[in-house]
Structures are given as C-alpha cells and as structure tokens.
Amino acid sequence: MTAAATSTTTTAATTSNPVVRYGPPISLALAQRVASAAQAEAQRNGWPMVIAVMDSSANLVVLHKMDHAQTGSIDIAQQKAESAVRFKRPTKAFEEALTQGGLHLRLLATQRAIPLEGGLPLIVDGQLVGAIGVSGMQSTQDAQVAAEGVKALG
C-alpha cells in the first residue's frame, strides 16, 4: 500500500482527486462538531463570523451567526457551502479561476458558483457528505476558519 493510500480518509476535497462521489448527508451531530470547531477558531481570533454547514444535497443543517457578525454574511456563508457541495470543490478554485481572466471569466455566468474563498467540501471515507461555508472577514480568514471546521471531521 502506498503512503497516499494509508493517509486519513476524512479530508477536504482537493483538485488532485477530481472523482468525489456524493455520500449520505452529514449528521446533525457531526455538522454541529464542524461548526463548533470553526466557531472556536473565529473566537480565538476575535472574528465575528457566520458559519453554515450543508449536507450532501445542499440543505442547511447548521447555521451559527456569532454576535456582531454582519448580516450580509448570513447569505454569503450559505452560498459558499452550497457552491462547495454542488461543484465538489473549494470555492477558492472559482476565485483563482477568475483572477486568471480570459476564458475563465465565463465562470461569472455559472449560477451558484460563488468565487470567494471560505467554502470547503466535507469528505468522509472518500464521499462528499456536506460542506462548510464561512463569511464575515477577509476571504483568507474565512478559509482559515472553515479549515478548522474540516479538521473536526477526524
């Protein structure tokens, strides 16, 4: 068995593994654990954020709006999670594509593909069970908080 094959089976989806299958929807207990871990990271940094966790069918499971988070972030966090579920990739991929310009600008016509970092698929045993979306600060900070949520998967 290769080193890659023995690595942990619970990760965020990456572009290096393009064939990710949809799995069963994330449980409420696991979604709460993911959201709580993300919230703890936001609190450590003093960042008022909104954290959304959706299941593998893009249905909202958990929404945490921290005190003093801007209300516009409620929709954006959900859009980031939905985009990560529907397209099986981090929303940063769309952000990076747009910065390249040219033909990548066609992405602007793609519905439900939000080009802001901070949305990550949740992968368990090689299957997409949901996604986390975070909004409230700079996109890189949103992504940092979302990544802490992913780590809570195990």
Q: Hey, what CATH class is 20-151 in? A: alpha beta
Q: SS3 of 29, please?
A: helix
Q: In this prediction, what percent of the chain has a pLDDT beyond 70?
A: 88
pLDDT number for residue 105: 77
Residues 6+ apart with CB under 8 A from 118: 77, 80, 91, 92, 133, 134, 135, 139, 142, 143, 145, 146
Select the more confidently predicted residue: 115 or 42.
42
Structure confidence by residue, pLDDT tens digits, 143-154: 999 999 999 998
Select the more confidently predicted residue: 115 or 67.
67
pLDDT number for residue 154: 84
Q: SS3 of 121, please?
A: strand
User: Which segments of 46-135 are extended strands (E)?
Assistant: 50-55, 60-65, 119-124, 127-135
Domain boundaries, the chain: 20-151
In the predicted structure, residue 32 carries a pLDDT above the cut 70:
yes
Q: How confident is the model at residue 96 (pLDDT cuts 50, 70, 90)?
A: confident
Structure confidence by residue, pLDDT tens digits, 46-93: 999 999 999 999 999 999 999 999 999 999 999 999 999 999 999 999
